[in-house]
Structure 1
């Protein structure tokens, strides 16, 4: 049975690294930067034809392509080229001071992305002169296409597609792509249905285990090219200040296997495990118990599964937990700093709960209080403060995994932190600056959207933060450390007010898991949950979700 085009991944035959793509009639065009092939691709069957079969070497290292009428436009190194369709002999149009990454054409106007310059440069094809320029929306290498009154830009580092006003360059909204390293994009109209899809190309490398008969043992870790084209869904909710993109139905299992390490004898045990939350991007379809029944309670607005045991001893063995079906999409909020210039003060109940040191944040220590002052300087706008705090923490810390979580004063002094320690520092600096915030997590589904109906296990748990905007009454997500990818910046903003489809939101502002005996929480110094049980986490990506209906 053939898949609908909105769900189908296109994998051209013989391609190594697709970059620019374009639409031409009822076919897609793509350039393979490594081989120099200009490919004509059937989106329904993957049937692939090399169009420039006599001039492929001349097209090696081309990164962007566009077609207008019978002219093909290309970018390579610092030069934009053009040629007549079918001739495929490149002629220079303009040479830039820096590398030209992507190109789009609308009538006589040529749009060129240039990461090194930090701009989208706009030229007149008749005169060869520059008309104007717009700021580039992201920090990475970008490609571009045009559709009517909008420019659409994909950024490889930001893992994001931006929709810009073609006249002003202002960002209308942006969406996260379901896969990493987007390298090209184009709109394609299916002839039979007149349905228009936004296709995005991806190119990267993936690690895999190779069976090498010349070695003993025969398995070795190596890398291979990974390139394909997939439709990008997008739905902009202007009232909610966010845009949704591709999503997946996911089955998540969280179970504890009771297996105490030491002698235990506990009475009237209450074991609480948070359940997935329903949010703008996440819908809980179904929840059921595993192993043992639970009762469900609402704690601070969050769903919690409660397991009860009259008596737990060293020899007891149980498996218990929950299985949930959730529908999760990527989300990206867009709020300009000017929209929050005159926000009302934080409600007193929020200040009492979300500005206090309730999680060993060392907010009274000198090093943390100094960092809170340095992070924002003289900035008064809450969004700019948040961005400054994030960048300050990224400047101060490098990522590293540790067996336990240290307090923010120790982490800042050390300069290395895990995701949980990044969160602790962020919380402390935000709260000291009067910004209400809370933790959220607890796991991410392994981000392999093509691995459907296959059990997947995450390597680690994960936490991030949410901060509150008074006036708009919004809790906005911000990742802890994944955007800290470049030493001293510039840092991408893909997960600043955004989450990918593989983030599973569980237990906003409450502990993910707690255990009480006779109504008293366990003393972590004497016995921890990890001493009592082994947790088992499993994800299964069931299928891709259909586009959101407007």
Structure 2
């Protein structure tokens, strides 16, 4: 049998939840060989359809032809033996797989999201209270309660003695010990809006259900014939999930993509003038655990490769430029990008070595207008962490303090941290400035990282030019004896506690890391700013899934 496609788009679906893989057993004419054809079962919460999905044709068959109304608004699905289980609102239901007539199993005081069923237990999740409840299947009594690993809607499935969870808000899949609830491993999903997960053999598949924007045409509206509208987007995708260990860092890489990135500068000045002996440097994408530079080549003009603080940089030796001289130059890079999530417990860093004097000189100083001597910022640094001493908890407290104080807004320039704090809004760069100041004042080495995100809306348009208008920055913090760990600047600021930790010690696949610890772009000599001399063009192509 041919291998399954990595992505399946079920036809006629609206709002898919849950995922169970089953196998059709068929026998050939000679009765000599029995073959199994896999199929997926999901519930469509909008129509109430229990769908049997062919992964090859993507066709869907309604199984519960006469009971669809009973299944409406179901958000969880499990099959154990010949019994099918669902959850909707605050009730657990079960039925046989002949007439699909739902029978109540039990009600809970809170809304239920997901369900998994073993031979003796029924596991259900509730984001309303942030817990997972385990009931005896025969006794219907509460056996134990586990803390939910994430902050959002969670779907469940069991694999042997392990409970696997996909969290919609966290964009994360968790692997737990089913008895203790201990998190063994976690990995980022490549897409948002996970609403179910299930195993086909050893392969993990995740269901995604949400809305996508598209350009809607209305020929009857002559003044505005095109508008932005929303439509349903449902698909099932195989998630690659591989754990690694390097020195003291454990991390998980999830599904990745080969991506082409172009960075191009075009000379363009409102006040044309002569520039002499100009060298223009642009950093390369960096090799990291999650990102590999496969190839890089010049565009428009040759460059010389240089090494700056251990990082590769393209140096364009442009020489003398006349007023209104036309030039374009840059590089095209081919990259392999994966999602990464680091696994580090707070108990593992209860006691860490002192930061070396060299690191203190580099990363505990005010080297970028951080206002670290300002009383407002110094007071904020104290208020953020209180008496906490654990370095990981301090980072979480600082992050949450900044998220409490700020909300995201694009700004035309980067203001000083005290102005940002008083204003209460900030761009990603202003979040970074405040995070750097508070972190460094609390003795934690921290640095800015960036530089762009590959556009990924529309669920991966392969080999189509994708343009990114804004750059992006985040931070890395350093734990002695462990190393540098990433933390997003503002995207985890969802407005309300508890804030997700999806990109705390993690990065999604679409981030491109360029020039760690060095300036992304510099010119020499520097009589002008880069923005006075040029405009940049940034383009991506997603070439293939790895």
Shift of 1:3: 8.6
Counterpart CA distance in 1 for 2:2 and 2:529 is: 48
Contact 1:440 / 1:463 at 8 angstroms: preserved in 2? yes
Q: Unpaired runs of 5+ in structure 1?
A: 190-195, 546-550
Question: How far, CA to CA, are the matches of 1:89 and 1:367 in structure 2?
Answer: 63
Q: Does 1:463 align with 2:473?
A: yes
Among candidates 157, 162, 165, match of residue 153 of structure 1: 165
Residue of structure 2 in register with 1:21 after alignment: 19
Contact 1:440 1:505 in 2 (8 A): yes
Deviation at 1:301, TM superposition (A): 1.6
Q: State the alpha-carbon separation in 1 of the partners of residues 346 and 228 from structure 2.
A: 46
Q: Does residue 533 of structure 1 match 2:534?
A: yes
Aligned residues: 528
Q: Is the 8 A contact 2:298 2:330 kept in 1?
A: yes
Q: Secondary structure at the match of 1:63?
A: strand
Asked if the contact 2:469/2:538 (under 8 Å) is kept, the reply is: no
Distance 2:349 2:153 in 1: 30
Distance 1:421 1:313 in 2: 36
Displacement of 1:302 in angstroms is 1.3
Q: Take 2:44 and 2:433, find their aligned partners in 1: how far apart are those partners?
A: 44
1:100 match: secondary structure: coil
Partner of 2:387: 378
The answer as to whether partners of 1:28 and 1:188 remain within 8 angstroms in 2 is: no
Q: Which residue of 1 aligns with 2:509?
A: 501
Shift of 1:365: 0.5
Does the 8 Å CA contact 2:407/2:495 hold for their aligned counterparts?
Answer: no
Cα pair 2:259 2:540 within 8 Å, conserved: yes
Aligned to 1:10: 8
Among 181, 192, 199, the residue aligned to 1:187: 199
Distance in 2, Cα, partners of 1:243 & 1:107: 30
Cα displacement (A) at 1:169: 0.4
Q: Deviations over 1:449-484 (max 9, x none)?
A: 520100000131000000011012x11000000000
Task: Trace 1:29-428 onto structure 2 (pairs within 5 A).
Answer: 29-189=41-201, 196-216=202-222, 217-239=224-246, 240-428=249-437
Tell me how far apart the structure 2 counterparts of residues 37 and 77 of structure 1 sit (CA, whole Å).
17
Cα displacement (A) at 1:206 = 1.2
- The answer to whether the 8 Å contact 1:423/1:463 transfers is yes
User: What is the CA–CA distance in structure 2 between the aligned matches of 1:116 and 1:415, rounded to whole Å?
Assistant: 29
Deviation at 1:528, TM superposition (A): 1.9
Runs of 4+ off more than 2 Å: 2-5
SS in 2 for 1:378: coil
| Aligned 8 A contact 2:90 2:109 in 1 | yes
CA–CA distance in structure 2, aligned partners of residues 38 and 388 of structure 1? 44
User: Which is further off, 130-139 or 216-225?
Assistant: 216-225
Corresponding residue to 1:510 among 502, 509, 518: 518
RMSD: 1.2
Gaps of 5+ in 2: 24-37
* Superposed CA offset, 1:179-211 (max 9, x none): 10100000013xxxxxx3111001111111111
* CA-CA distance at 1:280 after TM superposition: 0.3
Which digits, 9 at most, give the CA deviation of each residue in 1:477-526, with x for residues without a partner? 00000000123x21000000000000000011111111112xxx33xxxx
Q: Matched residues in 2 for 1:263 and 1:27: separation?
A: 65
- Cα distance in structure 1, aligned partners of 2:10 and 2:275: 60
How far apart are residue 133 of structure 1 and its match? Answer: 1.1
